[in-house]
């Protein structure tokens, strides 16, 4: 009797499916695509600094309260520390269950570091960062350095980017 029920149930499912012929198992079909998931981007309580220039190495920020410009070296923070501010696309894949029956995933996230992520990190962690001003603090490795004219000249000579020159001297 149980076998008959299984056969009837299977046939009923086939009758009520609305897939085009041959596409019910097509991996490119929209009904077989996973929903896109994103990591919730952590937002800082204040936005004192906003990015005005970004490259893979450095970010120049503008203080929204006084208009001053600040230098930050992106690699002074591990990339994974920026992750919570990224809003990354979650491309994790279910790989099965572990020995306790818990699901396991091959974690993969698609995201690129950008100026807004750096600014959000800085605004959220400003209390823990060292701050300074000028060329001497820049050379001594202070985290966040207020840019004065000698430092602006040094940055232009070091990074030689026309866009950076425009940002620093406007």
- For residue 48, is pLDDT > 90? yes
Name the least confident of 22-26, 117-121, 124-128, 132-136. Answer: 22-26
Helix, strand or coil for residue 118? helix
Confidence of residue 3 (pLDDT cuts 50, 70, 90): confident
Encoding tokens for residue 167? Answer: 């940002």
Encoding tokens for residue 126? Answer: 């400003």
- For residue 19, is pLDDT > 90? no
Confidence of residue 170 (pLDDT cuts 50, 70, 90): low
Q: State residue 32 phi and psi, 5-degree precision.
A: -105, 10
**Do 86 and 39 meet the contact criterion of CB atoms below 8 Å apart?**
yes
Confidence of residue 73 (pLDDT cuts 50, 70, 90): very high
pLDDT, average across residues 137-166: 94
């Amino acid at each position: 009797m149980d076998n008959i029920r299984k056969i009837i149930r299977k046939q009923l499912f086939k009758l009520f499916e609305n897939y085009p012929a041959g596409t019910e198992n097509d991996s490119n079909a929209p009904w077989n695509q996973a929903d896109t998931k994103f990591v919730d981007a952590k937002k800082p309580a204040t936005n004192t600094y906003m990015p005005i220039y970004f490259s893979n190495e450095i970010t120049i920020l503008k203080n929204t309260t006084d208009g001053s410009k600040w230098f930050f070296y992106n690699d002074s923070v591990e990339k994974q520390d920026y992750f919570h501010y990224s809003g990354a696309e979650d491309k994790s894949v279910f790989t099965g269950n572990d020995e306790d029956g818990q699901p396991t995933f091959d974690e993969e996230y698609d995201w690129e570091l950008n100026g807004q992520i750096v600014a959000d990190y800085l605004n959220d962690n400003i209390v823990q960062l060292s701050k300074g001003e000028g060329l001497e603090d820049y050379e001594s490795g202070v985290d966040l350095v207020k840019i004065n004219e000698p430092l602006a000249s040094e940055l232009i000579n070091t990074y030689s980017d026309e866009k950076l020159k425009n940002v620093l001297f406007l």
